[in-house]
A and B are shown apart, each in its own frame.
Chain A
């Protein structure tokens, strides 16, 4: 199986770390050497967060260098742009439809990029760019909070070597018991989009 570098990004409180924990554990169960790097601290809500997850035969650095992410997994639209330079040429960008305007945008000082602007910038790096209706699908599945799991579902269909059961099993272990079903439904919904 092929080594893969995933860069998970989002806004604090969105569930980016849950997504990257799932991704890392799935990699372990699929038989990879796995490393995951992120920076904790600062307990505030609302900051930009990123987590590096690497699957491989023998992973050295826990962090991914500029231009070497195979997959950019972004839970929020603006955040995806912040990390374009991390994506390898021809890599996959999965961007959730979630929009969280930073303070300077909501106060009117800055503008939030349009979908077209985002798509146009990504087109210069890859053809494999997809907005995923994470919020819509998560709400349909039963809770908007599962938007991160929708995006995991979308990603899972791209990582063909890893059996679906592993994903479902790890998700079931990582979410509160009463939300397992909703999250598995969210995962399935995401899996069908791409």
Chain B
């Protein structure tokens, strides 16, 4: 029976059915669920790595040792893993190696838009792109066959709409020989696997030759589909766009490329010759378009369809209509709607990051942020973050600004998972090159933003097994930081005292603000809504400034100030008491006052 699988679940299943033995990843939307699904297959060793570069090196190690291995990451993860991506293209592998990469057109949850098919060409690595979950599953198998046949890593590229769309798939089985227990003999081959210049010079022509052979292979690759319809319009497309294009042009001719690098020149030339007008419909970069134009074939693409954001059937139709490719559709314009109140993502009620930002605001330091839930501290009313670029950037940027002699002190704010990802070398740098940078590690005991993954500070692995737990104080000291303190992120006085002391230190310092994410089960069991004492509240509004969704405006006004009193939504409040500490009139009950009130 067919089952509904998301693209991510299908890829995990595909890995299982392909006999994959080793999987390593760092979480990141939209690819996170791939490993979270993979770990349910006990035959596969599935691990969270501290970052994508490590994840890819781990998978490469598996492939060098001779087993099918897979590394998974979101698009920006491949920037982090790029160094490894390039060397493994040069060395090739023993067992198959597939890198699953999820691009995020429209940046649903990312800091930038980038088209990672560019990496495939850049590193001479073949790139496969499925158009639905069935193909996502099956192409994992195809990718491993290509990897082993051509001695190359393979990039399996999906986008958010493939990753997070559910479509029907037919399940297969795992080959029995995949789990044969005979110990592996590691094959030593120094000229192939030691990439010193002398060896690398020998490898480079080989990989250039490999790409030529792959381009030949692509001519009959089963996932490069030609579907002839009317000769008036020939559409070249890939991935999810194939679905949109079919919906808009049910009668056109299609060349759907399942392998988007390298391309099959004869197949494309032949298709182009059979149609009157050749158009590429692809999301993000004009990747296929440029390649086809380089073949000397006249083609249109980005002159019709946008280069930014996501496409959908509606966008494809509208653009095609403008270009005269599609008859105008009778469109009734939607009714005018007044501007609606937004629901931007917010720091949750009880979020331990909130109080730290209240204090950094109070001390008027420049806050260099990083990537995680705390990035949301940039939103009003906190407006507490002043820079944020990519994972691990905060500490280096703060160090640079401090070295440059900025008048205001620059601090770095970084989450536990992000600190392991790329924060550690940057912290070492503040010690090595001595700046007055204060690094605040927001240790909320989880990787929250991507949905609560374990990390080296949580004491558990991806498969739920207990493991060692990093001691941030010891780690910071080992990295050369002498002034280190740990505070409870819910205790504003403690946070303020520690931060002031750290700012006064001559040299780098670390403050670890520790408190479990309010949505973790351990924290949930302590939820206890607190209340406002309407007799004491005079509507000053200071509690609104911490931006807690649980604090709302009541209907009641203070007689003297004529301002609305505050109220706490008992369904949202967790009882973190940050508002109670901020209130200058003691108008918010602390937990222990709730009982006696």
Contacts and interface: CB of A to CB of B under 8 A. Distances in A.
Given A67-B332, A102-B341, A42 B348 contact: no
A147 interface: no
Interface stretch (A43-51, A153-161, A178-186): A43-51
B94 interface: no
Nearest to A109: B341
A39 B312 contact: no
A65 interface: yes
Interface string A103-117: 111111011110001
Contacts of A151: none
A127 B193 CA distance: 70
Contact of B4 (A24, A63, A84, A117): A24
A105 B161 contact: no
Most buried by A among B167, B246, B247, B569: B167
A147 to B, nearest CB: 14
B552 A36 contact: no
B500 interface: no
Given A63-B313, A121-B337, A44 B247 contact: no
Given A37-B165, A125-B334, A43 B449 contact: yes
A117 B132 CA distance: 40
A33 B348 CA distance: 38
Interface string B324-355: 00000001101101101111111111000000
A110 B341 CA distance: 6
B471 to A, nearest CB: 26
Contacts of A112: 341
A46 B549 contact: yes
A42 B109 contact: yes
Interface in B155-204: 160-161, 164-168
Interface residues of B, number: 58
A36 B4 contact: yes
Contact of A41 (B109, B132, B317, B337): B109
Given A62-B243, A66-B334, A40 B168 contact: no
A57 interface: no
B313 A28 contact: no
A34 to B, nearest CB: 6
Contacts of B151: none
A61 B242 CA distance: 9
B interface secondary structure, majority: loop
B160 A39 contact: yes
B108 interface: yes
Interface in A6-42: 11, 24-25, 28, 33-42
Interface string B346-366: 111100000000000000000
Given A37-B165, A45-B519, A60-B244, A67 B553 contact: no
Contacts of B161: 37, 62-63
Contacts of B109: 39, 41-42
B549 A89 contact: no
A interface secondary structure, majority: loop
Given A35-B166, A61-B312, A81-B340, A43 B552 contact: no
A124 B332 CA distance: 11
B450 A41 contact: yes
A117 B33 CA distance: 40
A61 to B, nearest CB: 5
A68 interface: yes
A25 B243 CA distance: 21
Contact of B345 (A47, A106, A111, A125): A47
Contacts of B337: 81, 84-85, 121
B317 A65 contact: yes
A42 B449 contact: yes
A75 to B, nearest CB: 13
B450 to A, nearest CB: 7
A148 to B, nearest CB: 16
A40 B30 contact: yes
A90 B546 CA distance: 44
A82 interface: yes
Interface of A: 11, 24-25, 28, 33-48, 59-63, 65-68, 78, 81-82, 84-85, 89, 101-108, 110-113, 117, 121, 124-125
Given A34-B167, A112-B341, 13 more contacts: A28-B2, A33-B168, A36-B167, A37-B161, A37-B164, A46-B343, A46-B348, A60-B243, A62-B165, A63-B165, A65-B314, A67-B331, A78-B341
28 contacts: A24-B166, A34-B168, A36-B4, A36-B167, A37-B164, A37-B165, A37-B166, A39-B30, A39-B109, A39-B164, A40-B30, A40-B33, A40-B451, A41-B29, A41-B30, A41-B108, A41-B451, A42-B109, A42-B345, A44-B376, A46-B343, A46-B345, A62-B161, A62-B165, A65-B315, A66-B314, A68-B314, A124-B335
Q: Which 9 pairs show the lowest CB-CB distances between chains A and B?
A: A65-B314, A41-B29, A106-B552, A85-B334, A62-B165, A124-B335, A41-B109, A110-B341, A36-B166
